[in-house]
Structures are given as C-alpha cells and as structure tokens.
Amino acid sequence: MTNQIVIDPITRIEGHSKITIHLDDAGEVTDAQFHVTQFRGFERIVQGRPIHEMPSIMARICGICPVSHLIASSRACDEILSVEPPPTGADLRRVMNLAQIVQSNALSFFHLSSPDLLFGFDAEPATRNIIGVAKANPQLARDGVGVRKFGQQIIEWLGGKRIHPAWVVPGGVDGPLAEETRDRILSTIPEAIAAIERALAWYKSELVRWEEEAASFGDFRSAYMGLVDADGNVDYYDGLLRVMDADGHLLADRIDPRGYREFLGEAVEPWSYLKSVYWKVLGYPEGVYRVGPLARVIVATQMGTPRADIELDEFRRRLGRVPSSSFHYHYARLIDTLYAAERIEEILRGPDILSPRVRSFAKINANEGVGVSEAPRGTLIHHYRVDDDGIVQWANLVIATGHNNLAMNRSVAQVAKRYVKSAQLTESMLNRVESVIRCYDPCLSCSTHALGEMALHLQLIGPDGAVLDELMR
C-alpha cells in the first residue's frame, strides 16, 4: 500500500501549487512532486493580437515581475521590427530591469524567506511572518521595506506606476529620463546599498546556523545557466548564455540565447502545469540545471561592480566556486541585489543618460523574434512568430521557474526524505519541504503556460484510493 502526504497550498510563494509526498509501506518517503495547479495560457491568449500590444499584454502575466516580461517581450518585438534601441533607450530599459530585480529579490529575501531564516524552521507558524520579523529584528524588517520601496519607486518614477508600467515599448522606451527623476533616484541609492549590506552582514553572521539545512535543501550536482557579457561578467539585459557544470567546467559559453531551441528541451508532465526545461545534450530528466541568483553568481567571472565583487569573492571563499545547495540562493540573492543597486547608479551617471533619443521606430521587418533577459528568478525567453501584418501567430515563453522545475522537484524529494517521517509528522517538517521551494522564489503566475496542447491529467479517485476513471490529453 502506498500512502501520500499532501501540502496544499504552499505558502509564501507567488502563485498556487501543492506538493505530494509518496510513502512506502514502512512509511519511508519514496518520492515527492511539486505540482503547479494554476494555468494561465498566455501563449494562446496572444494569438491574433498585433505585435505592438505584446509587451503590455505579456506584462499582465505577473504583478510581481511585470517589468521582466516587458523587457523580454520588447526585445522580441525589436527583432521583429529589426531595430536596435538607441543606446540611451537600452540603458533606461536596463535601469528598470535592475530595479525590478531589486524589488523582487527584496520581496523574496526579506518578506518571504527571512521569517524562516530569523526564527528557524521549527518556530511557531504564528510568529514566522513579516510582523514577527518586525518585532524580533526591526532593522531587518525596515531594510526589507526600504529596499523593496527603492526598487518599486524607480519603476514608478520611470514608468508612471509600479505595477504594469507601459513605458518599455518595442524600439526602446516611451520617453526620455528627466534630470530631476535621475537625481531623485541617485539620492536614494546610498541608503539602499547600506540596507542591502546590513542584510548581507546579518545573513553571513547567521550562515553557520543553517549548515544542516544547506546539506539537504536541494544539495545535488547540476549545471547552472545565466547571461554574461563579453568579459564573462553578469549581464541582465542582453548578455550571452553561459552554462557551467557542477565542477565549474563550461558546458557552453557565450552562445546566442536566441537559438535556445537547439540546446534547451521543454517537457510536460501530466501532474503539473509547469513545463520542465532541460539541457538537451543530457536528455530528460537528466539535463537538470538551475537559473536565477545562485546560477548568476556561479557562472559569472565577476559581477562587475566594486561592492558586489567583494561580496562574490567572500561567497566563493565560504562556499567554493560551485556551491551545490539551493539553500545558497538566499545568499546569492543578496549579492545579486547589491549588484543591481550599484549598476543602476553606474548607468544613471552615464554622460548620455538624459539624451532625448530613446526609441527607434520601424514597421514589421521580420516574422520571428526572440527576446531574452535575466528576470529576478533567472533567464527569461519570449519567442514570437507574426504574419506580414504583425499579427501574432504563435508564441512560446520559457520562464525562469520552468528552467528550475526539475531542480525544484529533486530538492523537494531530498528534503522530504531527510525530514519527513510519517510516524512523527510535524509542522516543521512540512515547513522545510515548503521552504526549499522558497529558495528558488518560484513565480508560478509567470511560469504556467501551455506547450502546444495543455498537459492535463484528470483522475476520479474513490474513497478507497482506487482510480475510478481518468482522462488524459
């Protein structure tokens, strides 16, 4: 007889999902699965829409990271128009993308994960939330509010509103940067950097507490993937892909991400709406790799900004060149955030940042376009095909959370095997299973799209557990 434990819903992540843990007759965990139970279907929704609507429609995929979709979508549209945004237009897109990374990372670290990190995974659920953090470590909570506000304000000041700004458009951005806005943003950067560095100092001082969790929270060998620039440093806007294996060897370096279908496969399973993306050479499901902050700091030669590079050096001294545990997403996320804040300042201090030339105009000049950027959770790919009138015929989205799906499932199984004992089921065991998912900061609203026909598996199960009927397509 096989038993099953269900955690439904998983809390403190973006979107809806559940986890099933399968037990054998002895009550030992044999497997676990991370099910994404919501379906969005944007790849179908956009068919028949004109290409100039795509960035605004795609931004509706998510209320947390709409800017990431704006950026990737606009870049795909740039290809269809066959234009390059003017340099200032590209820089302003970069600033907004970096601000998005700051605010989303802040949400993940300070608001969703810090309660576990501050109180421990065995703490009472009633205290394990942001209000509890505010009581126990008000500076950490204030810094969380401040850092997220910093990122959100930049998006609002540039785009007119924090959620779903329409300022990023095919060909560039919709208007130049005002001097006053630049100076307002610059004035907020020192405090944001100070807050991020306080959080880093606190995290590093606490790192030893979580050695046990780090050894079982998705601790396995895998590849890592992220965008890098010509020097091999991180590039969140228009870099080339670098893939590194668990030993630090490059599986691929500076390859054009627009050819993603040559090296990335997309698989669907009947028990989840989330696609599993894999490295084709290694096959499915062996071709597991990870993306996002941890992958970015691993594959990059350096971050490319002074403070983040110091932190990256320390990260590597502490954890090695290729840490194998997904627990270290938290640490990497803070370095990632520090880099983003520093890079925003560098770009805004550029001599041409106030140039009025921010957008290129063109008609339809190609029938296909791929846009790739780094979103907070990892590499984001938008791929469109249009007819000669610019009407979308087909779209495919590869979202960061999809890249990480195989890794998340392996992580859940590992944590469940380590902590879940059916005879002594406790809340803290289940919290650890949930928490390993939070390391990846999955955005399920972003990631649940159809690959061709939606994989759907309906089961009608009787009271004795027998499958009475089922429907698959």
Partner 1 sequence: MIDNILVIGYGNTLRTDDGLGWYAAERLAGDPRFAGATVIGRHQLTPELAFDVSRAGLVVFVDASHGPAAGTFTIEWLQADAGNATGWSHILSPSSLVDLARELYGQVPDVAVIRVGVESLAFGDRMSPAAEASLPGLADAVAELIADHAARAGTVSVADQRRA
> Minimal distance in Å, beta carbon 429 to partner 1?
18
CB burial string 199-217: b at 16+ within 10 A, e below:
bbebbeeebeebeebbebb
> Minimal distance in Å, beta carbon 438 to partner 1?
10
Would you say 111 or 385 has its CB closer to partner 1? Answer: 111
> Minimal distance in Å, beta carbon 444 to partner 1?
11
> Minimal distance in Å, beta carbon 104 to partner 1?
10
Would you say 65 or 243 has its CB closer to partner 1? Answer: 65
Would you say 63 or 356 has its CB closer to partner 1? Answer: 63
> Minimal distance in Å, beta carbon 233 to partner 1?
30
Contact 277, 378 (CB under 8 A): no
- For 165, the token pair is 């700004």
What's 464's DSSP letter? T
Would you say 152 or 411 has its CB closer to partner 1? Answer: 152
Helix (H) or strand (E) holding 311: helix 306-319
> Minimal distance in Å, beta carbon 143 to partner 1?
10
> Minimal distance in Å, beta carbon 397 to partner 1?
20
Give backbone dihedrals phi and psi of 205, rounded to 5 degrees, phi first.
-70, -20
Cα(70)–Cα(62) distance, integer angstroms: 10
Would you say 123 or 451 has its CB closer to partner 1? Answer: 123
Would you say 52 or 111 has its CB closer to partner 1? Answer: 111
Q: Could you tell me the strand order of the sheet in which 289-290 lies? A: 250-255, 240-244, 223-228, 289-290
Query: Which residues of this protein are in contact with partner 1, per CB under 8 A?
Result: 11-14, 60, 63-64, 107, 111-112, 125-126, 128-131, 134-135, 138, 141-142, 144-146, 148-149, 152, 161-164
Would you say 194 or 353 has its CB closer to partner 1? Answer: 194
Cα(257)–Cα(472) distance, integer angstroms: 34
- For 365, the token pair is 């000049």
What's 107's DSSP letter? I
* 177 Cβ contact list (under 8 Å, min separation 6): 88, 92, 158, 353, 354, 358
Would you say 240 or 375 has its CB closer to partner 1? Answer: 375
> Minimal distance in Å, beta carbon 74 to partner 1?
21
* 157 Cβ contact list (under 8 Å, min separation 6): 181, 184, 185
- For 349, the token pair is 């201090």
Cα(18)–Cα(23) distance, integer angstroms: 16
Cα(17)–Cα(202) distance, integer angstroms: 31
Would you say 63 or 270 has its CB closer to partner 1? Answer: 63
The string of DSSP letters for 233-251 reads SB-TTT-EEEEE-TTS-EE
Would you say 216 or 401 has its CB closer to partner 1? Answer: 401
Cα(235)–Cα(307) distance, integer angstroms: 16
Q: How many CA atoms lie within 13 A of 280 on its CB side?
A: 9
> Minimal distance in Å, beta carbon 418 to partner 1?
24
Q: How many CA atoms lie within 13 A of 200 on its CB side?
A: 23
Would you say 104 or 414 has its CB closer to partner 1? Answer: 104
Chain Cα centroid distance, residue 225: 12
Distance separating the N- and C-terminal Cα atoms of the chain: 28
> Minimal distance in Å, beta carbon 304 to partner 1?
28
Cα(99)–Cα(409) distance, integer angstroms: 30
> Minimal distance in Å, beta carbon 103 to partner 1?
8
